[in-house]
Amino acid sequence: MIRNDAPITPELVREHGLKEDEYERFKALIGREPTLTELGIVSAMWNEHCSYKSSRIHLRTLPTKAPWVIQGPGENAGVIDIGDGQAVVFKMESHNHPSFIEPYQGAATGVGGILRDVFTMGARPIAALNFLRFGAPDHPRTRHLLAGVVAGIGGYGNSFGVPTVGGSVGFHERYNGNILVNAMAVGLAKADEIFYAKATGVGNPIVYLGSKTGRDGIHGATMASAEFDDTSEEKRPTVQVGDPFAEKLLLEACLELMKSGAVIAIQDMGAAGLTCSAVEMGAKGDLGIELWLEKVPCREEGMTPYEMMLSESQERMLMVLRPGLEAEAEAIFRKWGLDFAIIGKTTDTLRFVVKHHGEIVADLPIKELGDEAPVYDRPHISNVFRQAIAPETVAAPVSNVEALKRLVGSPDLCSKRWVWEQYDHLILGNTVQAPGGDAAIVRVEDGPKGLALTTDVTPRYCEADPVEGGKQAVAEAWRNITAVGGKPLAVTDNLNFASPERPEAMGQLVGCIRGIGEACRALDFPVVSGNVSLYNETNGQGILPTPTIGGVGVLDDVRKHATLAFKREGDVLIVIGETKGWLGQSLYLRDICGREEGAPPPVDLAAEKRNGDFVRHLISSGLVDTVHDCSDGGLAVTLAEMAMAGGIGALVPECPVDLPCNAFLFGEDQGRYVIAVDGDSAPDILYSAASKGIPAVILGMTGADSLTLPGEEPISVAELRTAHERWLPAYMSGEIAPTP
Amino acid sequence: MKAAVVVFPGSNRDGDVARALRLAGGEVATVWHAEDELPKGTDLVVLPGGFSYGDYLRCGAIAARTMIMDAVRAHAARGGLVLGICNGFQILCESGLLPGVLMRNANLRFICHWQHLKVERTDTAFTRRYAPGQVIKVCVAHGEGNYFADEATIGRLEGEGRIAFRYCDEAGNVTADANRNGSLNAIAGVYSEKFNVLGLMPHPENLIDDLAGGTDGRGLFESLVARAA
């Protein structure tokens, strides 16, 4: 008989984030009133963050398989085969809620958590990326949050020793009350030496490794499963504190231990700490787990079983060890100065039994804790239809060159150097394309292979049309990898949405997942890992739907890659893909005309694939070394970015007769690339494109030190650079008024 | 040439510098911080970049007090070569092998970027393979690289020609803009009195490859290998 340590009142149930019917379901499952520890355990297992209860039925529709997929969703991270016995392990995860409350530690532990997910599987992290969204620049908290988040990401990744090679930073008032911090990690492992969470064998020791358990982060996952209100500040104690030094030691110790052959199963203690990791290891292996909490290394005295089970202290791991190898394993951990304790064993009872000094404080059915978690098919409505905007109806409020200058200096398109200079992006010496390119490129060890890595989504498109927005996020990730010469292989998705309990927000989630699925199928770009972050709303105001896509591709020979910088004067500029002048939801329409309106550009997945395959072939066959994908801000911004990166100008003599010039220059039609090639090879490329039915048009030519748009005064590359580099440092130092 | 790379808990560019040394033809052993002697026949000791012991006290302060550093001090006293990069430079200053301190960067933030350096002299064991007055491109990645020493010390360092590298622009001009961490006299690296110990903040070990930024860092490792050969 379990002693009931506290009466379970309806208030207590509510404080644990459980709905009344969820609690009743739990009581029915165990046939009695739970103990406080048990209530804590189930609240951790059944919250949105851990159980995916609102998203699960929709996530099932995503394509997750391909011949090169070794491990799809459901493990600590996804695993793909890149040939030569090598595998890439990667995942992206959000740390939105904690980062809003305590930006430095929230972001730092987000990086720590995702790195741990990757090395838990036996991979050494070789790159990190992120995707960040903040509120409007003139919101009073934005500067503070941005400074803290960036310092936190750098503080953790730099010390751990992984290059942070890419990412995205943007602003929108809809993130005023809920910022987004999505962190992605990429690791390299041997394809036949991947480690999993599934426990095997009865009576095997369960070992606790890493840092000690403290009271930090208790209920972190529950916090991340609720919307914010004015009292969210009080949740600061639920944010964990990161120790990158401990994580670095944990990495080295884990990889050394894995090599020794002592590890049967391994799971990092992330969200919901000891509870989630122990239950997952047992449930996956069809085994029971018994824990002896008095053996858990604690940072503070007098911690209760409830606190130990729910602590989210960082830099901890749980392993099932091969019996007889405990001493060898312990020696490795002691050498690295880390805690090592046998805290339980596997059993054949299929029960999750937690004891404290011999007394049973929890005794729950282990499979049901995961499998019987509530699954909801929540009501959802698709969002209002937005009218397409005809290019002819958008008058140009300023000259096109003025519009370009404003756009390249705007908060969303300006240089993010201030941010990525705080990240060590060069450690390990394999960074071939540092931040600032379409996709980052890291060489795999001594080559010749390389990885192309990117994080993408255009939230304003998703808001206007979730299905097209979801497709576009995948297509853009695929395109960015292609633009550097990579073959896109797989994605990790980080779905950031508002409260699923509101049908319109739920509709955004459902629509975006549908679009992601369509695009991933069409582009042969399966989802191998991911994370869902819901309840990103404050006082009823939700974020823009933001399904971040982290894409991974491979370059067989990293020497054959493309960058966006103009390299020679006199190169012919060719745009691949069709330009229709789509201004709906464009940055030009929003930032220059002041209209956040219209339907977003449609994504033609067949054209996307055809155009991309063509461009990739040009790069891998060594014909083209200068490519930039055409996205936010259209052709004009694309050209400006290429000019600024290379310090060489360009001349675009005319606009097509059938399009208004502003729509031609700033329209955001999808599936396009600008390439710069020498004059001799241009005819062949145009001919080859025509023979494949791929739209390819000469735009102009590179040269001189100015960019000249049709009918406009030339603007010097130096002036563009000044505009591009100015805003963020000036904003962060308070030199300029926050409003753009 | 036998190099020993000391690995402290939290070192993270130990692998990078070992790679650069091997590429230059050096023989590389790693030495764990808890050991108390260097491998027999060590010509060069390298204290690599990273965050030794988390840098939770002053950067390099704890590493400077480990047992292996007694062995490193003895090696230096015998005239053996010692190279400290980034955290290694901080450790050398904390352990008294080099004068001065490295304070927080002038902008109080971690900075990582390409950086040009002026090679001040090319008659040392570390720089023979560079041309006099050569400007090299390397990278920096540090939060505390702002070199400071009292006026007398700076005067002595300058007078004795012990400045190894200075931050400069692409053309070799030592300007305030090129000295982003705010170091006194744009000092990026300094030598010991006998020129057998060098500490520098930038990372030549990450500039050994055309695909990943360039090869200007190779000269330093090639100089060391040639000298000991």
Quick: pLDDT tens for B137-165.
Answer: 999 999 999 999 999 999 999 999 999 99
Asked if A336's CB is within 8 angstroms of B9's CB, the reply is yes
Token pair in block for residue B140: 């920096």
Say whether residue B16 is in contact with chain A using an 8 A CB cutoff. Answer: yes
Q: In what order do the strands lie in the sheet with A78-83?
A: A69-71, A78-83, A86-94, A180-190, A124-134, A164-171
The minimal CB distance from B211 to the residues A155, A244, A559 is found for: A559
* Chain A nearest C-alpha distance from B97 (Å): 24
Chain A residues whose CB is inside 8 A of the B55 CB are 159, 245
Say whether residue B108 is in contact with chain A using an 8 A CB cutoff. Answer: no
Domains of chain B and any CATH numbers = 2-228 (3.40.50.880)
How much is the average pLDDT of B105-132?
97
| pLDDT > 70? residue A356 | yes
pLDDT, tens digit, 9 for 90 and up, residues A494-534: 999 999 999 999 999 999 999 999 999 999 999 999 999 99
Chain mean pLDDT for chain A:
94
pLDDT, tens digit, 9 for 90 and up, residues A526-585: 999 999 999 999 999 999 999 999 999 999 999 999 999 999 999 999 999 999 999 999
pTM: 0.96
3-state secondary structure of B106: coil
Q: How confident is the model at residue A223 (pLDDT cuts 50, 70, 90)?
A: low
| pLDDT > 60? residue A177 | yes
CA–CA distance, A534 with A507 (Å, rounded to integer) = 13
How many inter-chain contacts (A to B, CB under 8 Å) are there? 86
Q: Which of A159, A426, A428 would you mutate first to test chain B, the one with the most B CBs within 10 A?
A: A426
Asked if B206's CB is within 8 angstroms of A424's CB, the reply is no
* Chain B nearest C-alpha distance from A699 (Å): 30
Beta-carbon contacts of residue A715 (< 8 Å; ≥ 6 apart): A401, A404, A405, A706, A707, A708
Q: Considering only alpha carbons, which residue of chain B is nearest residue A434? A: B212
Residue A208 backbone dihedrals phi, psi, to 5 degrees = -100, 130
Residue A740: the pLDDT is 45
CA–CA distance, B96 with A75 (Å, rounded to integer) = 49
* Chain A nearest C-alpha distance from B201 (Å): 14
Percent residues over pLDDT 70 in chain B: 99
What is the pairing mode between strands A288-292 and A351-356? Answer: parallel
| pLDDT > 60? residue A1 | no
* Chain B nearest C-alpha distance from A430 (Å): 6
* Chain A nearest C-alpha distance from B129 (Å): 21
Q: How confident is the model at residue A373 (pLDDT cuts 50, 70, 90)?
A: confident
Q: How confident is the model at residue A735 (pLDDT cuts 50, 70, 90)?
A: confident
The minimal CB distance from B212 to the residues A155, A244, A432 is found for: A432
* Chain A nearest C-alpha distance from B26 (Å): 18
Chain A residues whose CB is inside 8 A of the B12 CB are 159-161, 248, 427
Q: What kind and span of H or E run contains A548?
A: strand A546-555
Asked if A432's CB is within 8 angstroms of B211's CB, the reply is yes
CA–CA distance, B22 with B3 (Å, rounded to integer) = 9
- Higher-confidence residue of A717 and B227: namely A717
* Chain B nearest C-alpha distance from A426 (Å): 7
| pLDDT > 60? residue A738 | no
Residue A217: the pLDDT is 73
CA–CA distance, B182 with B103 (Å, rounded to integer) = 9
ipTM value greater than 0.95: yes
* Chain A nearest C-alpha distance from B159 (Å): 35
Residues of B marked active site are found at 86, 203, 205
Asked if A427's CB is within 8 angstroms of B206's CB, the reply is yes
| pLDDT > 80? residue A218 | no
Q: Considering only alpha carbons, which residue of chain A is nearest residue B139? A: A426
| pLDDT > 80? residue A237 | no
Chain B residues whose CB is inside 8 A of the A154 CB are 110
CA–CA distance, A401 with A433 (Å, rounded to integer) = 29
Chain mean pLDDT for chain B:
97
Name the nearest CA neighbour of A546 among A454, A456, A459: A459
| pLDDT > 50? residue B73 | yes
Q: Considering only alpha carbons, which residue of chain A is nearest residue B138? A: A426
pLDDT, tens digit, 9 for 90 and up, residues A99-132: 999 999 999 999 999 999 999 999 999 999 999 9
Chain A residues whose CB is inside 8 A of the B10 CB are 159, 245, 248-249
| pLDDT > 80? residue A220 | no
Measured on CA atoms in the order A13, A235, A272, A185, is the torsion positive or negative? positive
Question: Do residues A69 and A90 lie in contact, with contact meaning Cβ atoms separated by under 8 Å?
Answer: no
- Cis before A205? omega within 30: no
Q: Which of A104, A115, A160, A245 would you mutate first to test chain B, the one with the most B CBs within 10 A?
A: A245
Asked if A336's CB is within 8 angstroms of B51's CB, the reply is no
Residue B77: the pLDDT is 98
Chain B residues whose CB is inside 8 A of the A158 CB are 51, 110, 112, 141, 143
Residue A270: the pLDDT is 82
Residue A7: the pLDDT is 85
Q: Which of A427, A443, A484 would you mutate first to test chain B, the one with the most B CBs within 10 A?
A: A427
pLDDT, tens digit, 9 for 90 and up, residues A389-426: 999 999 999 999 999 999 999 999 999 999 999 999 99
Question: Do residues B166 and B185 lie in contact, with contact meaning Cβ atoms separated by under 8 Å?
Answer: yes
pLDDT, tens digit, 9 for 90 and up, residues B42-58: 999 999 999 999 999 99
Chain A residues whose CB is inside 8 A of the B14 CB are none
Asked if A427's CB is within 8 angstroms of B16's CB, the reply is yes
Asked if A443's CB is within 8 angstroms of B211's CB, the reply is yes
Residues of A marked active site are found at 49, 95
How much is the average pLDDT of A677-705?
97
Question: Do residues A715 and A610 lie in contact, with contact meaning Cβ atoms separated by under 8 Å?
Answer: no
The minimal CB distance from A431 to the residues B53, B56, B212 is found for: B212
Asked if B203's CB is within 8 angstroms of A432's CB, the reply is no
How much is the average pLDDT of A218-236?
65
Beta-carbon contacts of residue A443 (< 8 Å; ≥ 6 apart): A430, A432, A449, A450, A558, B211, B212
Say whether residue B50 is in contact with chain A using an 8 A CB cutoff. Answer: yes
Q: How confident is the model at residue A233 (pLDDT cuts 50, 70, 90)?
A: low
Chain A residues whose CB is inside 8 A of the B203 CB are 426
Residue A164: the pLDDT is 98
If you ran DSSP here, which 8-state letter would residue A274 be given?
Answer: H
The minimal CB distance from B212 to the residues A246, A424, A429 is found for: A429
Say whether residue B54 is in contact with chain A using an 8 A CB cutoff. Answer: yes
Residue A559: the pLDDT is 96
The minimal CB distance from A427 to the residues B10, B12, B113 is found for: B12
Residue A271: the pLDDT is 79
Say whether residue B227 is in contact with chain A using an 8 A CB cutoff. Answer: no
Residue A667: the pLDDT is 98
How much is the average pLDDT of B11-32?
97
How much is the average pLDDT of A255-266?
94
Asked if A443's CB is within 8 angstroms of B110's CB, the reply is no
